[in-house]
Structure 1
Amino acid sequence: MEQRKKVAFYTLGCKLNFSETSTIARSFESEGFDRVDFTESADIYVINTCSVTENADKRFKSIVKQARKVNEDAFIAAVGCYAQLKPEELAAVEGVDLVLGATEKFKITDYLNDLSKNDFGEVHSCEIQEADFYVGSYSIGDRTRAFLKVQDGCDYKCTYCTIPLARGISRSDTLENVLKNAAEIAAQDIKEIVLTGVNIGDYGKGEFGNKKHEHTFYELVEALDTVEGIERLRISSIEPNLLKNETIDFVAQSKAFVPHFHIPLQSGSNEILGLMRRRYRRELYTDRVTRIKEVMPHACIGVDVIVGFPGETDEHFLETYHFLNELDISYLHVFTYSERDNTLAADMEGVVSKKVRAKRSKMLRGLSAKKRRAFYESQLNTERVVLFEGENKEGYIHGFTENYVKVKAPWDPSLVNTLHRVKLTSIDEDGMVRFEFMDEKMMTA
């Protein structure tokens, strides 16, 4: 009997990439492949790439090396955003055999008739205008949480961003299909779904460039709240101008949606927001944060910020720093601006030196640590529900409360993928929170 071929996956970048890798992996399994870990010997290694930062480009080469070290004769395929933007560049990396663009990646098994090594990577990538259809996906792997893709592409023209070039126009899954996927996830005893996409607040635009919204993001949230078997629903990242009061108010009284929002800001200076072509100003951002905290005082709010954008002076940066310092938010994701080909920002004047970018990034990371600590302290002596994760990290099990406080306890396998009511008691040296069990099951255990 012929031995089954083995495939391994490596995902760079965002939650959306993870959901798509998972879907691509299931297509391999249905074709008779066995999935193995990326550190193991496989016949095919698939690397799902990202192009958001310069670093992601460099990491690709080291991941290819890693795969070749395990099996020099393996077939290596690159898919994802970087594969769409710079296919020839990836194809030229030693050891890469196949590069698939935005529309081809979901049909990868169709390109694998011959697994012999190529001298130069074979490229199949479309013009991005052709990426006008929608492929739904969701990730399953970590038993406690699944990433469910509801939307793809973006119609915004932010001057620093290559995502519209890598993923095409904004388009969405049908409400019916999202609910079907959510029910499939629930059937596998997964307790939490994280909604993901490129610009999920824009949910509802149909395929083929149809700009009419079939449904709104609010209607999506409302419908998902009724799915049986899902304990928690989390909105991953949503633009401030698309996060409406009706959605915030619905989450506040929802059965399953948790009080955790991640809202990109990018800059606290209106002048820089204008140069970035963002679709809001800082006043609107303040308004969104204020509204959330009014109806959910215990909500966790995460913020994306870019430092070192062209034209960002010390005054602009300090404007951002002070704006964030005074805002009632919980943590930051800090990105150091990096020039990307074919973006307007790459040709802008006022380039900020790498050294200054690094200094500003360090200052904001320090502010993030301070904000997270203050948020965790505000949650001490409150009762929360924790969903425990599946990994044993140095003798501890970790979990997250509904409002995204990370907790730890001595490893206990019976806790994996279970929800428990706890009282948050203290913050450990590593910044994680200790707790006492408050539910009966644990009292009697």
Structure 2
Amino acid sequence: MNATKKVAFYTLGCKLNFSETSTIARNFTSEGFERVDFTEKADIYVINTCSVTENADKRFKNIVKQAQKVNPEAFVAAVGCYAQLKPHELADVEGVDLVLGATEKFNITAYLNDLTKNDYGEVHSCEIEEANFYVGSYSIGDRTRAFLKVQDGCDYKCTYCTIPLARGISRSDTLQNVLYNAEEISKQGIKEIVLTGVNIGDYGKGEFGNKKHEHTFLNLVKALDTVPGIERLRISSIEPNLLKDETIRFVAQSKTFVPHFHIPLQSGSNAILKLMRRRYLRELYVERVAAIREVMPHACIGVDVIVGFPGETEEHFLETYHFLNELDISYLHVFTYSERDNTPAATMEGVVPQKIRNKRSKMLRGLSAKKRHAFYERELGSTRTVLFEGENKEGYIHGFTENYVKVKAPWNPELVNTLHAVELNKIDEDGLVRFEWIEASCPALPAMQGTP
């Protein structure tokens, strides 16, 4: 490939997509491409798609238009979950030249010739049963934190979810390769790794191409805890039925794994959980939260919840609302249910009108703000360690404590990707936390002592 060719990337969706985009980008640079920002003129634009929500689908056309506005002659390629689920729909979008499904996306450079635009989108997509092999990924250079993929696919059959159709069966990276990738990340000076996958608690299944668990998620966590140079390890979303007491206890005494858990709930009503075909009831969720609080009272606990699922009556929703209100959690990620093709939920009775879905979503977002504020208030007066991010937002730099309290300070580039002990002391008008510097934590930055 011509070394002067430029490539830009846009990622929709989850941390897993970001890790895969970064890996695909490294494949391009190893073949002589120069990576540029998506807002810059490039010869090829690669869009890594998502199909978890209807909104992500709709955004795709706008992103293609953005690329064409910068360079109308650029070659546009689509990869990712939406590209697997609806390849021909994407190929029909004006300006799209190439669509690659689940098994082809990591070989994108093999599908590029002279980058001449096509009269119509060219599709290379597999039957999802063929997505039975594993490709490791991790992100570096895009953010202060690195996303390390450890698992892909899912064997669960939740009635609302398209991920098994988009990514295939549950399969895992080998423990040896995960540790190798973690060491590679460490060499880049990155302070925090976030473990990611579709169903990371299922880690070990398919590690060597079979359904047997060669290792467990606990084995993975214990092994990663020994990787030198990594200051923080963070577990991303993990199913409540797969978050075991042993893992919780290990995290509590670990020097690198941080006290932050994100545990999908989806509904606080057992009747709705059964319609969703989730693998637990609300009682188990209560047990998981209690188990965390027992050994890590200061832990941050995030919750995924879906509103407006078919059959969700006002009583079911209020059951969820009151359940969450009484639960000792820290914040919510609220998703408004949207029908997805080829899922059982799309044909269920009891469709909830969109206005009611939106109203319920607004109520839970308000509850989330209340929960986060209460969690932050409890943290005031405590000493925590902040990892500062790399972005200047209106004259401020932001960072997160180990237990995911978001703080702000006046912009100082010397703080980027550094860890500092601080005392949390005030919640400001933006709902972020101010702090006092702990002098011993920043001896090289004496000018920054005092309240930022």
Q: Would you call these one fold, judging by a TM-score over 0.5?
A: yes
Report how far residue 144 of structure 1 moved: 2.1
Q: Distance in 2 between matches of 1:178 and 1:344?
A: 35
Change over 3 Å in CA distance of 1:105–1:274 after alignment to 2: same
Instruction: Please tell me whether the aligned partners of residues 133 and 208 of structure 1 are also in contact (alpha carbons under 8 angstroms).
Output: no
Alignment check: 8 A CA contact 1:132 1:208 kept:
no
In the alignment, structure 1 residue 241 sits paired with structure 2 residue 241: yes
Correspondence for 2:284: 284
Q: What code does the residue aligned with 2:146 have? A: A
Tell me what 2:146 maps to.
146
Residue aligning to 1:105? 105
> Which residue identity is paired with 1:305?
V
Contact 2:16/2:196, CA 8 A, preserved across alignment: yes
SS at match of 1:240: coil
User: 1:251 aligns to what?
Assistant: 251
Give the equivalent residue in structure 2 for 1:87: 87
1:65 aligns with 2:61: no
Cα distance, 1:3 vs. partner? 5.7
Structure 2 match to 1:7? 7
Taking structure 2 as the reference length, what is the TM-score of the superposition? 0.97
- Alignment partners' CA distance in 1, 2:377 and 2:8: 41
Specify the SS of the correspondent of 1:241.
Answer: coil
Q: How many residues align?
A: 445
Contact 2:19 2:149 in 1 (8 A): yes
For residues 404 and 386 of structure 2, what CA distance do their matches in structure 1 show? 9
CA-to-aligned-CA distance 1:97-133 (integer Å, 9 cap, x gap): 0000000000000000131111110000000000000
The normalised TM-score by structure 1 is 0.99
Q: Is the 8 A contact 1:329 1:371 kept in 2?
A: yes
Match of 1:215 in 2: 215
Instruction: Check 1:207–1:179 CA distance in 2 against 1; reply closer, same or farther (3 A cut).
Output: closer
Distance (whole Å) between structure 1 residues aligned to residue 435 and residue 56 of structure 2: 37
Q: Does 1:174 align with 2:154?
A: no
- Aligned ranges 1:266-277 → 2 under 5 Å: 266-277=266-277
Range 251-260 or range 411-420, more displaced = 411-420
Partner-residue secondary structure (3-state), 1:8 = strand
Please list the CA deviations of residues 179-200 of structure 1 after superposition, one character each: whole Å capped at 9, or x if unmatched: 0000000000000000000000
1:169/1:209 contact within 8 Å kept: no
Residues 159 and 2 from structure 1, CA distance in 2 versus in 1: closer, same or farther, beyond 3 angstroms?
closer
Contact 2:172 2:207 in 1 (8 A): yes
Do the aligned residues in 2 keep the contact of 1:133 with 1:207 (CA within 8 Å)? no
Aligned-residue offset at 1:442: 3.1
Letter in 1 for 2:258: V
1:165 aligned partner: 165
Give the 3-state SS of the residue equivalent to 1:420 in structure 2.
strand
Counterpart mapping for 1:34-45 below 5 A: 34-45=34-45
Taking the aligned partners of 1:387 and 1:110, their CA distance within structure 2 comes to 39
| SS of equivalent residue, structure 2 residue 241 | helix
For 1:299-343, what per-residue CA distance to the aligned partner results, in whole angstroms no more than 9, with x for missing partners?
Answer: 000000000000000000000000000000000000000000000
Amino acid at match of 2:60: F
Q: Over the residues paired in the alignment, what is the CA RMSD in angstroms?
A: 1.1
User: After the TM superposition, which residues 47-66 of structure 1 pair with which residues of structure 2 at under 5 Å, given as runs?
Assistant: 47-66=47-66
1:202 aligns with 2:202: yes
Q: Which residue of 1 aligns with 2:316?
A: 316
Structure 2 spans left out of the alignment, 5+ residues: 447-452
Letter in 2 for 1:38: F
Q: Mark the runs of 5 or more structure 1 residues left unpaired by the alignment.
A: none
Indicate the SS of the match to 1:297: coil
Distance 2:304 2:439 in 1: 36
Whole-angstrom distance in 1 between the partners of 2:2 and 2:364? 56
In the TM superposition, 1:120-135 aligns within 5 A as: 120-135=120-135
The residue that corresponds to 1:188 in the other structure is 188
Match of 1:334 in 2: 334
Q: What are the Cα deviations for residues 260-308 of structure 1, in whole angstroms up to 9, with x where unaligned?
A: 0000000000000000000000000000000000100000000000000
Q: How far does the alpha carbon of each residue in 1:77-113 deviate from its partner, in whole angstroms, 9 at most, with x for none?
A: 0000000000000000000000000000000000001
**Structure 1 residues 246 and 207: alpha-carbon distance in aligned structure 2, compared to 1, 3 A threshold:** closer
Tell me the equivalent position of 2:346.
346
CA distance in 2, matches of 1:70, 1:286: 50
Greater alpha carbon shift after TM alignment, 199-208 vs 36-45: 199-208
Runs of 4+ residues over 6 Å off in structure 1: none
